[in-house]
Amino acid sequence: MTRAGWAGTLALAALAAAAAGIAARARYTADVSAFLPREPSASQRLLAEELRSGFAARLIMVAVEGGDAAVRAQLTAGLARALRADPAFVEVSDGDSQGFARAAAFLLEHRYQLSDAVTPERFTAAGLHRAIGDTLDSLASPEGLLAKPLFTADPTGETLHILDGIDAPRVATRAGVWSSRDGRRSLLIAQTAAAGSDTDGQEEALAAIRGSFAAAAARAPGGGALRLRLSGPGVFAVTSRALIRSQVTRLSAVSAILIAALLLAAYRSLPAVLLTFVPVASGALAGVAAVSLGFGVVHGITLGFGVTLIGEAVDYAIYLFIQPRSGWRQGVWPTIRLGMLTSVCGFAALVPSGFQGLAQLGVFSIAGLVAAALVTRFVLPEWRPQALKTRDLTPLGAVLARALAKLGLARAALGVLALACVLVLLAHRATLFSRELYDLSPVPHSDQELDASLREDLGAPDARYLIVVSASDTGTALECAEAIGARLEALVAAGVIGGFESPAQYLPSPAMQRARAASLPPPDELAARLRQALAGLPVSASRLEPFLKDVEKARSAPPLTPRELAGTPAGSALDALLSVNGDSATAFLPVSAVRGADLSAAAIGQLRAALAAPEHALSPPHASARLLDLKAEADDLYGGYLTQAVSLSLLGLAAILVLLGVARSPLRALRIVVPLALAVLTVAAGLTLTGERLGILHIVGMLLIVAVGSNYALFFDRLAQPAHADLPRTLASLAVANLATVIGFGVLAFSSVPVLAALGRTTAPGALLALVFSALLARRAAPTAAT
């Protein structure tokens, strides 16, 4: 080895060690954060916050299916008991009536703070007469019968009134546990202590549920027929991470083995095969280290994209080993260098993307390609033993050259093909692009369907409209929610919206609670008014002693806070609607449409007007309220990403054109770009014809076609020059490199992670077409040289 070789090797070793250190310490996540913008707007931040650490992100929907219905219900109730005892879960709901009894006891105890019917008027003699009369009337109904024991303490019916105001969950119950409408699933909802963004914590919670279920199923007779199904944001995060991890490992292994087999057949030399993977490994390590340094966290999906690096980086070494040693420094390396710079230009366009996943891919690819190319240039030739002999592929190249010469006629067909592709794309232009954010999700469609079906069973659809109140403290947030609630009541009455939920329904603001306590008369006064009120009613005042006692107690009771509600069903409902974070509090008021899931544009307008109306200025200052349409926000976000991906890719393409125009002449640049553009066009038309809608990952795949294909085009450009290289061996090296790339991306096309599959299905055929088109469109100077 030369001195330069030693220097390069040492530099590589030092850098590799540093990169490995960074990669080992990098944080890897798989939650929704990759899909969130780097500089979010206020609404997007709320959306992100809600998705990442909100109450909804901590819910796990648990379903038990199969087996005998009675065994299933019993086992589900047992599972709920086991999970309630586990500190990993804050709350477990399965619809048992014990929970209802606990809730009712809490409501009864605090009824004079919680009931919105408590006003000074209600506690006048006339008001009491009316309220007690109403309660007596209701004793005939089944609910009245249930409430009969409460009558002497609660003759004004506050407890029933509170229950009336709360929408009972619309879940069917069978044998004491929640059940799907068709009765085939028993259901429960577990709320984890770990935040939704804590993927490790979620994984432990899932393991605890699976463990409890397995133990219970093993004990129950016929428990073997029961199956456990889990869904929810945490489940998605854990599944995605595991899926990406296993897919990346397996797909990398499969493509590495296939490529190694290909190279072994081509080189007939094991050392050469091993050396070929050195630039690949260096590139991957550099990529992870760069992303970790630049972003602080490496998203799982970025590693998935990293698999694709094998496809391009392996080419560099192939050119080194197959093309003649003599022309390496002068001809081959400059061509590789220009190809690498071309790719870097393309990927550089992705770096400023607001979509973190895309930006990480850009950084990963640039660092990876530069590292791979540098290792190929400065280290690999030095490591190559002088005695290393790879098989001479000249005969293969000669066959290819003859075939190429005969294909001249096909050039004419390319014009027709281009026209046909343009026509296909134009015909499908309305449905060309996918607009769903969920297309980016690594979660398989079957899991998304299970989630939707469980949500339907539990009557817990994804809330689409959310009024978000931000305030400096809990009390202010609740006061503001009360003020908005009053306006929303008017919209419900007018039929503009179907209904709404508010944290103030579960916990009134301290101001409201104090006002209610102040409506309660002192004991002597109340006793006097009660005597008056009972005139004409079939009740004697002496029976209502408990009522007088409870009212006196309520007069001096301190206002309830979220702490007192903790652990009750009202507490978990409150958790969903109120989040307290240091010195700020946020209240969420989900709004539902009158019919279906969507509000009309007019209804949204009225809703926004109600929030903004200056004459109804929200009573407490330092609070703000805004309406969030979660679906529109998400779709806007994705639409923005898609537009950005397309425009950034075009920018990258322009940068590539400029680079090639400067490095070669504009005419030669055009000759290099036309076959690549044609390959992209053909792939886009092909995907559209097979019914795929183009998403961000297809766009990225097309960028990869250009990045990889530019190498082929540049080699054909070099072959056409007067000081031409060895045509057959160049052709052979291109064929082997192309095959390696197609294998690398082709394996990806079989991934069960939708985004990886989209990338593979775009780039594998695209790379092949780029080579074929470049060959067909290459200048004719070459074939004469071969003969």
Partner 1 sequence: MSARLPRGALCLLLLALAALLAAAASAATDPLDALLRELATRRHSHVAFTEVQYLAMLDRPLESSGELLYDAPDRLEKRTLTPRPETLLLAHGVLSATRGKRTRTLELSAYPQLAPLLESLRATLAGDRSALEQVFSVTLEGDAARWTLHLTPRDPAAARMVREVVIGGEQADLRSVEILQADGDRSLLTTGKELPP
Residues forming the site for partner 1 (CB under 8 A): 95, 97, 134, 136-143, 145-146, 148, 151-152, 164, 168, 172-176, 538-540, 543
Contact 632, 599 (CB under 8 A): no
Per DSSP, the three-state class of 607 is: helix
Least distance CB 153 / partner 1 (angstroms)? 11
C-alpha–C-alpha distance, residues 622 and 471, integer Å: 6
Per DSSP, the three-state class of 590 is: strand
Token reading at 404? 């190429």
Least distance CB 543 / partner 1 (angstroms)? 5
Q: Under 8 Å CB-to-CB from 515, ≥6 apart: which residues?
A: none
Least distance CB 460 / partner 1 (angstroms)? 17
φ, ψ at 579 (rounded to 5°): -125, 130
Residue 777, judged by CB atoms within 10 A of its CB (0-12, 13-18, 19+), counts as middle
Closer CB to partner 1, 17 or 146, in the complex: 146
Closer CB to partner 1, 136 or 663, in the complex: 136
Alpha-carbon torsion (339, 344, 347, 349), positive or negative: negative
Closer CB to partner 1, 126 or 261, in the complex: 126
Token reading at 323? 């093309």
Least distance CB 360 / partner 1 (angstroms)? 50
Contact 708, 342 (CB under 8 A): no
Q: How many residues does the chain have?
A: 787
Closer CB to partner 1, 505 or 774, in the complex: 505
Least distance CB 538 / partner 1 (angstroms)? 4
Closer CB to partner 1, 539 or 757, in the complex: 539
Closer CB to partner 1, 153 or 228, in the complex: 153
Closer CB to partner 1, 183 or 385, in the complex: 183
Least distance CB 160 / partner 1 (angstroms)? 10
Least distance CB 531 / partner 1 (angstroms)? 14
Token reading at 402? 């003859």
Contact 608, 616 (CB under 8 A): no
φ, ψ at 597 (rounded to 5°): -100, -20
C-alpha–C-alpha distance, residues 516 and 364, integer Å: 61
Least distance CB 168 / partner 1 (angstroms)? 7
C-alpha–C-alpha distance, residues 483 and 146, integer Å: 33
Least distance CB 173 / partner 1 (angstroms)? 4
Written in H, E and C, the secondary structure of 638-676 is HHHHHHHHHHHHHHHHHHHHHHHHHHCCHHHHHHHHHHH
Least distance CB 137 / partner 1 (angstroms)? 4
Residue 37 Cα distances to 43, 48, 56, 175, 228, angstroms: 12, 9, 20, 47, 35
Closer CB to partner 1, 100 or 750, in the complex: 100
Least distance CB 142 / partner 1 (angstroms)? 5
Token reading at 66? 């199969």
Q: What angle do CA 32, 35, 40 make, to 5 degrees?
A: 105
Closer CB to partner 1, 429 or 543, in the complex: 543
Residue 150 Cα distances to 21, 104, 130, 231, 769, angstroms: 68, 11, 18, 40, 80
3-state helix, strand, coil in the chain (%, to 5): 70, 10, 20
Contact 328, 287 (CB under 8 A): no
Least distance CB 451 / partner 1 (angstroms)? 25
Nearest to 475 by CA among 587, 554, 565, 553: 587
Closer CB to partner 1, 495 or 582, in the complex: 495
Alpha-carbon torsion (283, 285, 288, 292), positive or negative: negative
Kindly give the pairing relationship between strand 89-93 and strand 185-192. Answer: antiparallel
Closer CB to partner 1, 344 or 534, in the complex: 534
C-alpha–C-alpha distance, residues 759 and 361, integer Å: 12
C-alpha–C-alpha distance, residues 194 and 203, integer Å: 10
Least distance CB 571 / partner 1 (angstroms)? 23
C-alpha–C-alpha distance, residues 318 and 740, integer Å: 9
Nearest to 317 by CA among 375, 235, 234, 236: 375
Least distance CB 485 / partner 1 (angstroms)? 17
Closer CB to partner 1, 492 or 785, in the complex: 492
Closer CB to partner 1, 65 or 134, in the complex: 134
Least distance CB 518 / partner 1 (angstroms)? 29
Closer CB to partner 1, 324 or 498, in the complex: 498
Closer CB to partner 1, 293 or 537, in the complex: 537
